Chains A and B, each alone.
Chain A
């Protein structure tokens, strides 16, 4: 009954006129910055922080949180329409989402993303309300060896993202790993591959690489192809899902939701691992895996559900342990402190109105996003069919602003331009950029956790196999590797038998 009382308190707070208004402002802004390439929730929330000084803490947090999960909805829009992932968790959505758009099914892809996100968000909020403290304790069980094992699993899974040649995907992962290693080594602070540039000492910035390789690379290619006047931007097509499509997305949404809710609580790459983990799972369980990468609707439904579920469950470590798992949560924690609330284990008991009000508002916000996004689908699709010579300069400008807004560093814009040229070359060589980005993110984390584990164990690698969680994850990784290698071995033996 406690839960019902708490939820009643939460809804009575969140449904106050002022809070509904701020929730709406938050999700609307979130959708907008999600749609604008490059502009992310971190920069937006940082800019809006001063405005929240005059607000009640609950209203401020409701609005700022709305920007965060609103951006998750908006981010899928650019990923689908113009092949531009606004943040790491929507990289996977570009794979099938943009293919669907090219086939004139942008509407269906956008609707799938919105419905999947809404369902996953709602479930993750219930998880957050019911299980926040035990889940936080579970996250603490994850030490360096467990993270290392998870990263290994992730890297192996990332190869499954490739729809073309495996060898090219592997090459892209390795290139990504190398790019990710640029910067100061964490343990010794020695700079690696920085060419003595202070600007590179913390490594290259993810948004700059993603905008460059995906966005600019694609734009250059579009400009050198003949269909310039029309562009490759999505055709409008039918907006709603067919009955078959609607049936096809039910299970992927469920699976994506579960994966996202669990992995979202892990600091670092949680939401990202969830989104492409969900994609890999779908490809594995599908009867027709060859459709993936060519516009499979399941390839949009699962990762979009996973990343929104992850976005909601990433509130758990911040609200229950006082430890922000990602930069956005760090900013929200900072906002709470500015309002005189110290985020930590006692927030739930000492600030019940805030905690339950926020949870209730997240559900209300998700509902608003669904209502907001479905009618907008038609508008986005039409907007994206603007003549390309008008559209691409706008995209380039927003990419520059977005990249600059992350760290206020012009060097990052140069990195984006460089990455754009590389992205164009890679496209010409038929190499897919998604595995590159995953290598770029996972590589440094893999190294970090490996070295940390060995530092703590004084160089003894047996800890990976004696700790049950890490041993289980590594066993999964081996299993996945076998599953991936097996079909090719079998087909080879079949060929051999024929001869």
Chain B
């Protein structure tokens, strides 16, 4: 046993100076959500493309649970050798306030690789919901706030965050109907059991195009290529109402800078890969700019988003633990 450990230690010492050759073996990229979901899809597309550039396979590992905090916590504690990465979404910023007993510090437990994409959201409703446009929706919701039901996919989910932001923007408290995930929530929306919700284009674009649900507004600054007829929230009377489910790649704190630089470069290359761009488009999103796919941009984004969501979550008083 002792001999094996000495050998391993020796190997580690020999390997360190030659770090320029990183990566020497497969890299694990943890997704803190279950396989098949929107974040998992984004991860697999990016990981596949980055693998080609790095010359080593990136293995996607799904560590779901507790709104993404279990997977993030696992990576926070992992060896900072560049062989364990995390792809997380906006939940990294909101969990700082949503969870009061978090096992790690979202701001200080990670090194940053870069942003990946900012998935837009759409305010959607059951097909026969009365209001004609976003203005009408706001008036209707305010007048009937005891009757209206809005759905979300559970506390901490993208739809929950957007819903909180919407209520705070129109200064009206509504009845939220939580579901276990977007699928059942959308089913009930199509079936007319609930009135409206706000969810990522990943989940809603197709149903909107097929008129199975009604779209009121996007949460973006500009109209989306995938849904050119849907106005932005700004156009519809809610200036500044922007919510995007941004995704980013992290590594445990203390990962060698050489590795981070290499990963960042590979990420930037992956985001230019025509295959990735095309698949992102079918998800209703676009890769971030090259400047945003950097450690500095991600650090700034995370800081500003933690600060932005803190008051929204605290005033709603909804915590996840």
Complex: chain A residue closest to B318, CB-CB: A189
A225 part of interface (Cβ distance < 8 Å): no
- With both chains docked as a complex, state the minimum distance between the C-beta of A319 and any C-beta of chain B, in angstroms: 12
Are the C-beta atoms of A333 and B61 separated by less than 8 Å? no
Stretch at the interface among B38-46, B83-91, B250-258, B265-273: B38-46
A407, CB-defined interface residue at 8 Å: yes
Q: Return the CB mask of B266-283 against A: 1 if under 8 Å, else 0.
A: 000000000000110011
Are A409 and B206 in contact, with the CB atoms below 8 A?
Answer: no
User: How near does chain B come to A49, taking the closest CB pair, in angstroms?
Assistant: 7
A140 to B, closest residue via Cβ:
B191
Provided the pairs A184-B320, A340-B282 are in contact, do residues A330 and B36 lie with their beta carbons within 8 angstroms? yes
A323-B186, A340-B278 known; 8 other A-B pairs, CB under 8 Å?
A: A139-B187, A198-B66, A334-B40, A340-B279, A345-B212, A346-B209, A407-B63, A452-B177
| A49 in contact with B206 given A321-B190, A337-B282 (CB within 8 Å) | no
A189 touches B155 (CB 8 A): yes
Q: Does A324 belong to the interface (CB within 8 Å)? A: yes
Tell me, in angstroms, the Cα distance from A455 to B59 when the chains sit together. Answer: 42
Q: Number of contacting residues on B, CB 8 A?
A: 56
Q: Would you call B41 and A338 a contact (CB within 8 A)? A: yes
Contacts of B236 in A (CB 8 A): none
Q: Does B70 count as interface, using CB distance less than 8 angstroms? A: yes
> B-facing mask of A144-187, CB < 8 A → 1, else 0?
10000000000000000000000000000000000000001011
Does A110 count as interface, using CB distance less than 8 angstroms?
Answer: no
Residues in A428-464 with C-beta less than 8 Å from chain B: 448, 452, 455-456, 458
Scan residues 1-58 of chain A and give those whose CB is less than 8 A from a CB of chain B: 42, 45-46, 49-50, 53
Q: In the complex, which of the residues B35, B66, B194, B318 contacts A334, with contact meaning CB atoms closer than 8 Å?
A: B35
Is B154 interfacial (CB-CB < 8 Å)?
yes
Question: Which residue of A is nearest B65, CB measured?
Answer: A202
* B56 at interface, CB cutoff 8 A: no
Q: Is B128 an interface residue (CB 8 A)?
A: no
Minimum Cβ distance to chain B for residue A196 (Å): 8
Task: Report 13 cross-chain contacts, Cβ distance below 8 Å, ordered by A residue.
Answer: A53-B48, A144-B188, A202-B65, A267-B187, A323-B187, A325-B183, A330-B37, A332-B36, A337-B283, A338-B279, A343-B206, A345-B210, A458-B146
| B219 interface contact, C-beta 8 A | no
In the bound complex, do residue B35 and residue A42 qualify as a contact, i.e. CB atoms below 8 Å apart?
A: yes
Instruction: Show the binding face of A for B, using Cβ within 8 Å.
Output: 42, 45-46, 49-50, 53, 139-144, 184, 186-187, 189, 191, 196, 198-199, 201-202, 267-268, 317, 321-325, 327, 330-335, 337-338, 340, 342-346, 407-409, 448, 452, 455-456, 458
Q: How many Cβ-Cβ contacts under 8 Å join chain A to chain B? A: 140
Cβ–Cβ < 8 Å partners of B184 in chain A: 267-268
Within 8 A of A (CB), among B277-305: 278-279, 282-283
Min distance, Cβ B286 to any Cβ of chain A, angstroms = 16
| Top 10 A-B pairs, shortest CB-CB distance | A344-B206, A334-B36, A140-B191, A330-B36, A331-B36, A46-B35, A143-B193, A189-B155, A345-B210, A201-B66
Asked if B73 lies at the interface with its beta carbon under 8 angstroms from chain A, I say yes
Residues A201 and B186 in contact, CB atoms below 8 Å apart:
no
B9 in the interface, Cβ–Cβ < 8 Å?
no
- In the complex, what distance in Å separates the CA atom of A409 from the CA atom of B206? 34
CB of B168 to closest CB in A, whole Å: 18
- Check if B35 sits within 8 Å of A331, measured CB to CB: yes
Q: How far is the CA of A452 from the CA of B318 in the complex (A)?
A: 18
Is B60 among interface residues, defined by CB-CB distance under 8 A?
Answer: yes
Does B307 sit at the interface, judged by CB under 8 A? Answer: no
Contact A198 B70 (CB under 8 A): yes
Among B179, B183, B279, chain A packs the most CB atoms within 10 A around the CB of B183
Contact of B193 among A335, A344, A448, A456 (CB under 8 A): A456
B186's nearest neighbour on chain A, judged by CB, is A323
Complex Cα spacing A448 to B179, Å: 8
Q: Does B69 contact A (CB under 8 A)?
A: yes
Chain A residues whose CB sits within 8 angstroms of the CB of B16 once the complex forms: none
Please, which residues of chain B bring their CB within 8 A of the CB of A344?
206-207, 210
A189, B319: Cβ atoms under 8 Å? yes
Q: Is B172 an interface residue (CB 8 A)?
A: no
* Cβ contact within 8 Å between A342 and B194: no
